[in-house]
C-alpha cells in the first residue's frame, strides 16, 4: 500500500509523531547491519521508531569512512544498497505511523558510500569555471545516488573561501561569490533536475540540502565553526549570494552552519532562517541543522528544551543527531515555543517527502546515460592551473624524469575530505608518478618521496634519494601540497570532525592551520632536487590556497591543482605532456603568512600595506598562463536603466530564474578571444568589474561573469556576455537590487581597471548616474 500524506497536514498527527518528523537522530549505519549476506534492522532503529511512532529522516545508512568505521569488510555492498534502505523503510512504515522516512547521505564530491564515484572537490570545479560541466557532473552523481535509494544529498557549495587557513577550503567553489553562486546553482539544477522550489524531484534525481548557511567561510582566524564578524552588507554581498542562487533554482533545503554571525548562532538566527530566506526571498523548503548544532546552543541557553525552542522558532525544521530536539514536548508544555511552530516544521518535512514522491506515485525520470567517470576526468583536467611553464612544458617524448615529493605517488592525497574507502584494486586510479610511468615507461621515471607533508624531516637520507633520482634526469617533477587523509585510527568528535589528525593530514574539517606556507620539509626536497642542476617543475596538489613565494624562487615552472580525485594523476600528466592545463586559480594565494585577508575583491584601501612582506607576490584569483591567446572587450560601452534592469522580480519563491539579469533589461558586451596557436584551446573567459556607488567604498575587482569556451586553432571567437541585475545590481541585502551606478569592466588579469576598460552605466529616470551630475 502506497503511503499517503495526512490530508489535514501535520496538525492532525499525534504530537509525538510530529516531533519524530523533525528529528534526525540516528547514525544510519547503526540502524541496519549486514549479517549473513542480508540487511538486518537493529534495536537502535526499533527503539527510535517505537519512541516517536515514525521518523523524519535517517542520516548515513550508506556512509562509509573512518568516522563511521564502515569499510569494504563490514559495509553494505553497493549493489545491495536499495535492499538495505528497503529493510529500514519497511520497518519504519510497518511499526510506526506509516509515514516513510527520508534517506539522507553526504555527497560533497560524489556519494560518500562504498562504490560511490569520487569526483574532484568543489575548489577544483572552481578552477575549471565551467557551469555546464558542473551541472552534468551533479546530474550524474544524483542519478548514481538515487539508483541506490538515496533521497537527500548534503552538498557543500554555499561557503565562500575568505580565509585559506580554514581546513574546509576545499569544499568551497571559490573566494568569489559570483563564481560560487554560478556553480552552486549549476550543482542544484543538475542534482535535482529543477528550476523552482515547487518542482517535483523525479526518480533520476535527489533533493539537495545545500551547506552551510551562512558565512562559515569567514570564521575568525580561519578556525572551523568560529564566529563570523561581518556586517550586513558583507553578509549579503559575499555570503548570501550563493544561497540566493540555490534558492532561485529550487533547492530543497539549507543546512544551518555551526558558526555565529555577529554573535547569533546560525541555527538560532531567526533573521536569517526566517526573515531573509523565507520572508524576503519567498523560498519555502526545509532547514536542517548541522550535526549537533542545536545541542551547541546550550552555551546560550539554560537547558535542552530552551535550545530546542530557539532553533525551532528561528526556522530549523530538522535536527541532525541532536539530543535537544527530543525535548520539544517539554518546550511546548513550558510555553517556550508554540505548538503551531512544530506543526509548521513538520509540514515542511512532509512537503519534501511529497516532492520526492514518497507519498503516492513517484514521478518517473527519463533515464539519461551519463558517464560520471568521464565527466570527472574532464573536470580534473580543467582544474589544473598552469602558473608558469618556465619554458619547460610540454615535456618532450623520450625524456628521463625524476618524480619526487610526498604527493607524487599518494592516491589519498588527491581525494579530499568526506571520501569513502577506495576499492582494492582501484581500477583506473592514477597518481602523478603512475601516470608519467604509463607515458614514459618505468625505466625513464625515477622516484623518491623525500619527505612527509609536514615536518620535521626526520630522515636526512631521504634527501639523498632525491638527489640520486635527479642525477642525470632531464627534468624533475616535484609534487608537493597537502592531504585530507583520514585513518581508522584517528580520533573523531561527535560530529565527525577529526580531533587528532594524522601527522600527514593538513586539510579537511577540523584541520585548520595557523600557517599556509609550504612546509619546510617539502621545500627541502625541492632544494635537494635543485642541487643536482636538474630543472624543476613544481606541482602543488592541495585543497587550499598556499603561500608559494619561496617555492616560486626554487622551481623553474609551477602547476597548481586542487584535489582532482582518484584519476587526477593523469590530469596532471596531460597538463605536463600535452599542454592540457586550462584552469584558473579559484582563490588568491597569499604572498606570506599573516597577509590576510587576501581575496581579489577586498575593498580598496588607503593603507600602504605591510613593511615586512611584499603583498604583490600574491597570486590573484583568476591567474593562469595561457600562451598564444589574447582577449579584448569589443563593442561600445552600454547603458541600461535601473527601473528596467530590476524587472521582473528575482525573488526565488515568486519567479523561477536561471538566466543572467533576472529576465529584465541587460547590457550586452562581448570578448574577442584570439588563438594564435596550432591547437584548439579550451579556457574560461572571465569578465571583471569595479562598481562605483555613492557612499560605498568599491571592491578592487569583482568577477561579473565567466564563460567556458573552446577556440579553434588560428582563429578568433567572440564570446557574448549579458550583464543584468545579478551582475550590475547591489547585493547588500542578500538579493540583487538595481541602483544607478557606474561599473568599470575589463577582461584582462589586472587588479585595477586598465586604460581600455569600458564603463557600463546603470542610469536613473533622467538617464544619468550620480557620477555624471
Residue showing cell 602543488? 540
Do residues 112 and 420 make contact, with C-beta atoms less than 8 angstroms apart?
Answer: yes
Nearest to 719 by CA among 641, 585, 629, 644: 629
365 pLDDT higher than 90: no
Q: Which carries the bigger pLDDT value, residue 280 or residue 663?
A: 280
Give the whole-number percent of the chain exceeding pLDDT 90: 81
| Radius of gyration for the alpha carbons in the chain, expressed in angstroms and rounded | 26
Q: How confident is the model at residue 657 (pLDDT cuts 50, 70, 90)?
A: very low
Nearest to 532 by CA among 448, 443, 468, 478: 468
* Spatial distance between the Cα atoms of 479 and 476, rounded to a whole number of angstroms: 10
One DSSP character per residue, 188-244 reads HHHHH--SSTTS---TT--EEEEEEES-GGG-GGG-TT--B---HHHIIIIISHHHH
What are the φ and ψ backbone dihedral angles of 275, each rounded to 5 degrees? -65, -50
Highest mean pLDDT among 417-431, 486-500, 560-574: 560-574
Beta strand pairing call for 57-59 and 702-711: unpaired
501 pLDDT higher than 80: no
What are the φ and ψ backbone dihedral angles of 541, each rounded to 5 degrees? -105, 110
What kind of architecture, by CATH, is found in domain 629-772?
Sandwich (2.60)
Kindly state the helix (H) or strand (E) to which residue 95 belongs, with its residue range: helix 81-95
Q: How confident is the model at residue 641 (pLDDT cuts 50, 70, 90)?
A: confident
Nearest to 576 by CA among 449, 451, 408: 408
Cell (9 digits) for 470: 635527479
User: Model confidence over 719-735: pLDDT tens digits?
Assistant: 999 999 999 999 999 99
Kindly state the helix (H) or strand (E) to which residue 681 belongs, with its residue range: strand 681-692
Paired residues of 743 in beta bridges: 691, 760
CA dist 633 to 672, 686, 758, Å? 6, 11, 8
User: Model confidence over 617-638: pLDDT tens digits?
Assistant: 899 999 999 999 999 999 878 8
Beta strand pairing call for 475-481 and 401-404: parallel
765 pLDDT higher than 60: yes
Q: How confident is the model at residue 656 (pLDDT cuts 50, 70, 90)?
A: very low
The mean pLDDT value for 600-613 works out to 83
The mean pLDDT value for 738-752 works out to 93
Dihedral class, residue 499 (left if φ above 0, else alpha if ψ from -120 to 50, else beta): alpha
What's the pLDDT score for residue 446? 97
What's the pLDDT score for residue 1? 53
One DSSP character per residue, 410-436 reads -GGGGT-SS-PPPPSS-TT---HHHHH
- Non-local CB neighbours of 122 within 8 Å, separated by 6+ positions: 108, 109, 156, 157, 170, 171, 172, 173, 183
User: Model confidence over 223-274: pLDDT tens digits?
Assistant: 998 999 999 999 999 999 999 999 999 999 999 999 999 999 999 999 999 9
- Non-local CB neighbours of 244 within 8 Å, separated by 6+ positions: 181, 281, 652, 734, 735
Nearest to 207 by CA among 188, 179, 227, 184: 188
Paired residues of 706 in beta bridges: 686
Paired residues of 228 in beta bridges: 261
Nearest to 107 by CA among 495, 416, 481, 429: 416
Residue showing cell 617524448? 397
Q: Is the peptide bond before 394 cis (omega within 30 degrees of 0)?
A: yes
21-355 maps to CATH 3.20.20.300:
yes
- Non-local CB neighbours of 720 within 8 Å, separated by 6+ positions: 668, 669, 670
Nearest to 328 by CA among 769, 51, 22, 630: 22
773 pLDDT higher than 70: no
Paired residues of 742 in beta bridges: 692, 761
Residues in the chain: 773
User: Model confidence over 411-421: pLDDT tens digits?
Assistant: 999 999 999 99
User: Model confidence over 283-298: pLDDT tens digits?
Assistant: 999 999 999 999 999 8
DSSP code of residue 732: T
What's the pLDDT score for residue 508? 94
Lowest mean pLDDT among 122-126, 143-147, 490-494, 562-566: 490-494
Do residues 516 and 164 make contact, with C-beta atoms less than 8 angstroms apart?
Answer: yes
Cell (9 digits) for 180: 560560487
Encode burial over 518-531: b for 16+ CB neighbours within 10 A, e otherwise.
Answer: bbebbbbbbebbbe
Domain map of the chain by residue range? 21-355, 378-617, 629-772
* Spatial distance between the Cα atoms of 503 and 516, rounded to a whole number of angstroms: 16
Q: Which carries the bigger pLDDT value, residue 532 or residue 437?
A: 437
* Spatial distance between the Cα atoms of 160 and 236, rounded to a whole number of angstroms: 12
User: Model confidence over 54-88: pLDDT tens digits?
Assistant: 899 999 999 999 989 999 999 999 999 999 999 99
336 pLDDT higher than 80: yes
What's the pLDDT score for residue 458? 67
CA dist 302 to 265, 267, 296, 297, Å? 15, 16, 12, 9
User: Model confidence over 551-567: pLDDT tens digits?
Assistant: 999 999 999 999 999 99
Q: How many CB atoms lie under 10 A from the CB of residue 471?
A: 13
DSSP code of residue 637: P
* Spatial distance between the Cα atoms of 279 and 273, rounded to a whole number of angstroms: 9
What are the φ and ψ backbone dihedral angles of 349, each rounded to 5 degrees? -65, -45
378-617 maps to CATH 1.10.220.10:
no
Common-topology check for domains 378-617 and 629-772: no
Distance of CA 74 to the CA centre of its chain: 30
| Collapsed DSSP state (helix, strand, coil) of residue 11 | helix
Q: How confident is the model at residue 654 (pLDDT cuts 50, 70, 90)?
A: very low
What are the φ and ψ backbone dihedral angles of 107, each rounded to 5 degrees? -150, 60
CA dist 28 to 31, 98, 481, 625, Å? 5, 19, 34, 47
What's the pLDDT score for residue 655? 39
Lowest mean pLDDT among 216-230, 315-329, 583-597, 650-664: 650-664
Nearest to 151 by CA among 329, 356, 413: 356
DSSP code of residue 365: P
What's the pLDDT score for residue 8? 67
- Non-local CB neighbours of 172 within 8 Å, separated by 6+ positions: 122, 123, 126, 156, 157, 159, 160, 161, 180, 217, 587
Q: How confident is the model at residue 660 (pLDDT cuts 50, 70, 90)?
A: very low
User: Model confidence over 151-172: pLDDT tens digits?
Assistant: 999 999 999 999 999 999 999 9
What are the φ and ψ backbone dihedral angles of 422, each rounded to 5 degrees? -80, 150
Q: How many CB atoms lie under 10 A from the CB of residue 282?
A: 16
Distance of CA 325 to the CA centre of its chain: 28
Nearest to 421 by CA among 121, 147, 79, 116: 116
What's the pLDDT score for residue 651? 59
Do residues 70 and 77 make contact, with C-beta atoms less than 8 angstroms apart?
Answer: no
What are the φ and ψ backbone dihedral angles of 223, each rounded to 5 degrees? -90, 130
Do residues 277 and 243 make contact, with C-beta atoms less than 8 angstroms apart?
Answer: yes
Q: Is 611 exposed, middle or buried (0-12, 13-18, 19+ CB in 10 A)?
A: exposed
Amino acid at each position: 500500500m502506497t503511503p499517503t500524506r495526512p490530508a489535514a497536514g501535520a496538525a492532525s498527527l499525534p504530537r509525538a509523531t510530529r516531533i519524530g518528523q523533525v528529528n534526525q537522530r540516528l547514525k544510519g549505519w547503526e540502524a541496519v547491519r549486514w549479517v549473513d549476506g542480508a540487511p538486518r534492522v537493529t534495536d537502535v532503529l526499533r527503539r527510535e521508531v517505537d519512541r516517536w511512532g515514525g521518523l523524519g529522516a535517517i542520516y548515513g545508512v550508506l556512509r562509509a569512512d573512518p568516522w563511521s568505521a564502515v569499510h569494504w569488510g563490514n559495509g553494505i555492498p553497493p549493489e545491495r544498497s536499495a535492499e538495505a534502505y528497503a529493510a529500514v523503510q519497511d520497518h519504519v512504515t510497518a511499526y510506526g505511523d506509516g509515514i516513510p522516512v527520508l534517506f539522507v547521505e553526504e555527497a560533497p564530491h560524489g556519494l560518500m558510500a562504498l562504490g560511490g564515484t569520487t569526483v574532484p572537490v568543489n575548489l577544483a570545479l572552481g578552477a575549471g569555471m565551467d557551469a555546464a560541466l558542473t551541472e552534468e557532473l551533479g546530474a550524474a552523481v544524483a542519478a548514481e545516488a538515487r539508483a541506490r535509494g538515496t533521497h537527500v544529498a548534503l552538498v557543500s557549495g554555499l561557503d565562500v573561501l575568505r580565509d585559506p587557513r580554514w581546513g574546509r577550503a576545499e569544499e568551497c567553489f571559490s573566494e568569489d561569490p559570483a563564481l560560487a553562486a554560478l556553480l552552486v546553482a549549476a550543482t542544484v539544477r543538475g542534482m535535482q533536475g529543477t528550476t523552482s522550489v515547487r518542482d517535483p524531484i523525479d526518480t533520476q534525481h535527489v533533493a539537495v540540502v545545500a551547506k552551510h548557511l551562512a558565512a562559515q567561510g569567514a570564521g575568525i582566524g580561519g578556525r572551523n565553526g568560529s564566529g563570523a564578524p561581518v556586517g550586513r552588507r558583507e553578509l549579503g554581498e559575499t555570503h548570501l549570494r550563493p544561497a540566493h542562487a540555490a534558492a532561485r533554482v529550487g533547492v530543497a533545503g539549507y543546512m544551518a552552519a555551526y558558526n555565529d554571525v555577529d554573535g547569533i548562532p546560525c541555527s538560532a538566527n531567526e533573521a536569517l532562517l526566517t526573515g531573509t530566506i523565507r520572508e524576503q526571498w519567498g523560498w519555502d523548503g526545509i532547514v536542517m541543522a548541522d550535526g549537533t548544532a542545536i545541542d551547541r546552543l546550550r552555551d546560550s541557553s539554560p537547558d535542552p528544551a530552551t535550545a530546542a525552542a530557539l532553533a525551532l522558532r528561528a526556522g530549523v525544521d530538522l535536527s541532525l543527531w541532536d539530543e535537544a530536539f527530543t525535548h520539544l514536548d517539554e518546550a511546548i508544555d513550558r510555553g517556550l515555543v508554540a505548538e503551531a511552530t512544530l506543526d509548521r516544521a513538520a509540514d515542511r518535512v512532509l512537503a519534501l517527502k511529497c516532492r520526492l514522491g514518497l507519498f503516492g506515485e513517484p514521478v518517473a525520470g527519463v533515464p539519461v546515460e551519463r558517464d560520471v567517470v568521464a565527466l570527472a576526468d574532464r573536470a580534473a583536467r580543467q582544474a589544473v592551473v598552469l602558473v608558469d611553464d618556465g619554458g619547460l612544458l610540454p615535456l618532450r617524448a623520450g625524456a628521463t624524469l625524476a618524480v619526487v615529493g610526498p604527493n607524487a605517488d599518494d592516491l589519498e592525497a588527491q581525494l579530499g575530505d568526506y571520501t569513502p574507502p577506495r576499492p582494492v584494486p582501484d581500477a583506473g586510479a592514477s597518481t602523478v608518478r603512475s601516470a608519467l610511468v604509463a607515458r614514459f615507461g618505468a625505466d625513464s621515471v625515477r622516484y623518491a618521496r623525500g619527505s612527509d607533508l609536514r615536518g620535521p624531516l626526520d630522515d636526512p637520507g631521504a634527501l639523498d634519494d632525491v638527489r640520486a633520482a635527479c642525477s642525470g634526469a632531464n627534468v624533475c617533477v616535484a609534487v608537493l601540497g597537502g592531504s585530507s587523509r583520514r585513518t581508522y585510527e584517528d580520533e573523531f568528535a561527535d560530529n565527525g570532525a577529526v580531533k587528532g589528525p594524522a601527522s600527514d593530514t593538513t586539510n579537511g574539517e577540523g584541520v585548520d592551520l595557523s600557517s599556509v606556507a609550504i612546509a619546510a620539509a617539502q621545500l627541502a626536497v625541492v632544494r635537494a632536487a635543485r642541487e643536482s642542476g636538474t630543472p624543476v617543475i613544481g606541482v602543488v596538489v592541495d585543497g587550499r590556497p598556499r603561500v608559494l613565494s619561496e617555492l616560486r624562487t626554487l622551481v623553474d615552472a609551477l602547476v597548481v591543482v586542487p584535489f582532482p580525485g582518484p584519476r587526477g594523476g593523469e590530469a596532471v600528466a596531460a597538463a605536463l605532456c600535452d599542454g592540457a592545463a586550462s584552469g584558473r586559480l579559484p582563490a588568491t594565494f597569499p604572498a606570506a603568512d599573516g597577509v590576510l585577508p587576501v581575496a581579489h575583491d577586498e575593498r580598496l584601501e588607503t593603507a600602504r600595506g605591510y613593511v615586512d612582506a611584499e603583498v604583490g607576490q600574491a597570486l590573484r584569483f583568476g591567474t593562469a598562463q595561457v600562451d598564444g591567446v589574447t582577449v579584448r572587450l569589443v563593442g561600445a560601452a552600454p547603458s541600461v536603466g535601473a527601473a528596467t534592469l530590476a524587472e521582473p522580480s528575482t525573488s526565488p519563491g515568486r519567479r523561477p530564474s536561471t538566466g543572467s539579469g533576472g529576465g529584465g533589461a541587460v547590457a550586452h558586451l562581448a570578448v574577442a578571444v584570439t588563438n594564435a596557436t596550432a591547437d584548439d584551446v579550451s579556457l574560461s573567459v572571465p569578465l571583471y568589474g569595479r562598481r562605483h556607488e555613492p557612499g560605498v567604498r568599491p571592491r578592487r575587482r569583482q568577477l561579473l561573469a565567466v564563460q567556458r569556451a573552446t577556440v579553434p586553432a588560428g582563429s578568433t571567437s567572440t564570446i557574448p556576455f549579458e550583464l543584468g541585475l545579478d551582475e550590475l545590481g547591489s547585493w547588500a541585502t542578500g538579493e540583487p537590487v538595481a541602483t544607478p551606478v557606474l561599473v568599470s569592466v575589463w577582461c584582462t588579469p589586472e587588479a585595477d581597471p586598465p586604460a581600455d576598460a569600458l564603463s557600463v552605466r546603470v542610469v536613473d529616470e533622467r538617464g544619468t548616474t550620480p557620477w555624471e551630475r
